[in-house]
Chain A
């Protein structure tokens, strides 16, 4: 009995030795472990982001001279690593924070990924990034908005997307503009799903509203998997706010707008904080009852021939529909990560981390309407921003700020009466 056990122990030790001795990128690839909700309530968003990441990897890995000077598009692979290709490993956390944590650990310890990315739901990004910090593997947070993800003093976590407080300030600037234009914005209602994402954005909005002197008439936290929201809509109806801001995922956002129509409640303006309002299934489901509903987006398809237009064409060829803001922000974060990998010129985690801290992308090197990508000490992109868009007909038009606007803002919203 004794000998076999000894033998197997030796084998395990040898295997551990050899796997440690092997270089991580033997095949000339850089492994990116990506953690998204590919099934479950947010599966649609996760699947769309997965397609976006695959398009981005295609742009980096293959020669795309038609993209002009867009970073990493012209040649094949990462030039500073001898044309090394990006290899994407997708795992599905189903919207479950503890699963996200386990999967991040597995990606690091078993798949030996060089960098991590994810995780859509803020609650999942929160847990998964802790793993990256522990193992010293760079983690790019693609688009989760909760403040607390980058406020823990982590060294290894970077975030390309704007965050809750950026959005909250944008809304207040917009309301101030509206007030100047003579619209009535005397009370705000905030309706948020009650996980990290909804809570932190709603907290930020309530804070900023207080600072900007816009009274919050009512705040309604709810559970995103609710099958019935009429009680909440009736609470809103009772308070009569001038603007209702929804921080919602997909099914709940659709349910709210349909229920509002059914209960004959139409506030002067509805603003959706992206996410559910940007889900590909949102417009087809509610366009007939949600005319004039607003949403935020840093993504605009742009004119034919532009880089953004070409990216959208590639995404469309893959999925049959236009790229949405959520997936586009993930894609931008992915490009920022690829840029840093290239500058690092190696898969050494510390070199990648340093390259990330030195990131300085200019607006013309981006696909999004940010002022740039540059990370502060906490890992947050300080040059990110957003536009406001409005549902007119069966699509969103860019309506604010005035300088970038492509269509005229309608206030109050017409909802279902046209």
Chain B
């Protein structure tokens, strides 16, 4: 029974990993571009949620939407003002630009909010439901379910809609897409918006369950990279499976072997899996 409880907890956490990692994988799949500031987007989503709650009240639906929207706009702005230009530069400057961006965002937030840990005031999302003896904290439950829905939604958007086709067209052949009347810059800006927006909403969902400080992005950023590498670079369903798997392995190994071993187990399996399947679970070889 306890083990079942552990598994459920791991899967709920894994679903959120999946959501914020899907944004990272989207950018990689579209543009072969690694965004080191992705964890900071999640962190910003958390602070946007906090500000919305403090200033306007509003429930989880309101602040999640606000975080998604604010980060979408930020993603587009960052693309337009930074990424568009460094794309023309060498690979190294691309990597370092988002690394610098990450530090800029993190320390700006340090400056504004100080280093103290904050958490959302008790919202309507609190309490615990009991499903046949399994306790599920409402914030984690809602966050997990919404995260799965959104990740699947993002996948459908990419594969089943015109916008998705245009995004994929740009990623496959930028020049051919231009000949077909698609504007690559617009599509890539949209991808950045979607990516940051997904991170923002994941941050808002996490904020209902965890305390955080401005340095939280570091942890999430690393997790996102592992999820993306395991799932396969560029694959949204891969990120979903990988997120769930990592959440699950972390929880079960923490319970069985003790919490200090959980990351050893996760990364050992991760290395073995990449050795057998370097392209990741769902990546194209």
Contacts and interface: CB of A to CB of B under 8 A. Distances in A.
B211 A43 contact: no
Contact of A227 (B13, B116, B117, B128): B13
Interface stretch (B1-9, B89-97, B158-166): B1-9
A99 B51 CA distance: 34
Nearest to B263: A223
Q: How large is the interface on A (under 10, 10 to 19, 20 to 34, 35 or more residues)?
A: 35 or more
Contact of B117 (A220, A235, A251): A251
A222 B259 contact: yes
Interface in A209-261: 220-223, 225-232, 234-235, 237-238, 250-251, 254-255, 258-259
A227 B215 contact: no
A38 B6 CA distance: 35
A263 interface: yes
B184 to A, nearest CB: 37
Nearest to A232: B259
A230 B260 contact: no
Interface string A57-81: 0000000000000000000000000
Given A250-B117, A255-B211, A228 B135 contact: no
Given A40-B215, A43-B213, A231-B254, A254 B117 contact: yes
A337 B67 CA distance: 48
Contacts of A222: 254, 258-260
Contacts of A250: 117, 211
Contact of B215 (A41, A47, A232): A41
A264 B116 CA distance: 27
B259 A263 contact: no
Interface in B73-123: 107, 110, 114-119, 122
Given A39-B215, A44-B213, A238-B2, A288 B260 contact: no
Interface stretch (A4-12, A178-186, A278-286): A278-286
A96 interface: no
Given A222-B259, A229-B259, A234-B255, A262 B128 contact: yes
Contacts of A346: none
B250 A234 contact: no
B211 A227 contact: no
Nearest to B9: A230
A227 B10 CA distance: 11
B28 interface: no
Nearest to B250: A228
A254 B9 contact: no
B251 interface: yes
B116 to A, nearest CB: 5
Which of A225, A226, A262 has the most chain B CB atoms inside 10 A of its CB? A262
Given A194-B260, A221-B258, A235-B255, A255 B2 contact: no
Nearest to B136: A262
A225 B219 contact: yes
Contact of A288 (B9, B107, B122): B122
Contacts of A229: 259
A238 B256 CA distance: 13
A365 B144 CA distance: 56
B270 interface: no
A219 to B, nearest CB: 9
Contact of A255 (B107, B210, B215, B254): B210
A280 B116 contact: yes
Contacts of B10: 228, 231
A40 B107 CA distance: 10
Contacts of A41: 213, 215
Contacts of A281: 116-118, 211
Contacts of A262: 128, 135, 137, 140
B65 interface: no
B211 A47 contact: no
A44 B128 contact: no
Interface in A266-306: 279-281, 285, 288
Nearest to A252: B211
A230 B2 CA distance: 11
Contacts of B6: 230-231, 234
Contacts of B33: none
Contacts of B137: 259, 262-263
A251 B213 contact: yes
B114 to A, nearest CB: 7
A288 B128 CA distance: 15
A223 B260 contact: yes
B115 A47 contact: yes
Nearest to B137: A262
26 contacts: A39-B115, A40-B215, A43-B115, A44-B116, A44-B213, A194-B260, A220-B259, A225-B219, A227-B13, A228-B254, A230-B5, A231-B252, A231-B254, A231-B259, A231-B262, A234-B2, A234-B255, A235-B255, A250-B211, A251-B210, A254-B117, A258-B211, A262-B128, A262-B137, A262-B140, A285-B211
Given A47-B114, A222-B259, A285-B117, 6 more contacts: A221-B259, A222-B254, A228-B9, A228-B254, A237-B2, A251-B117
Interface of B: 2, 5-6, 9-10, 13, 107, 110, 114-119, 122, 128, 135, 137, 140, 209-213, 215, 219, 250-252, 254-255, 258-260, 262-263
10 closest pairs, A vs B, by CB? A43-B115, A222-B259, A262-B137, A231-B255, A231-B254, A281-B117, A230-B9, A254-B211, A44-B116, A281-B116
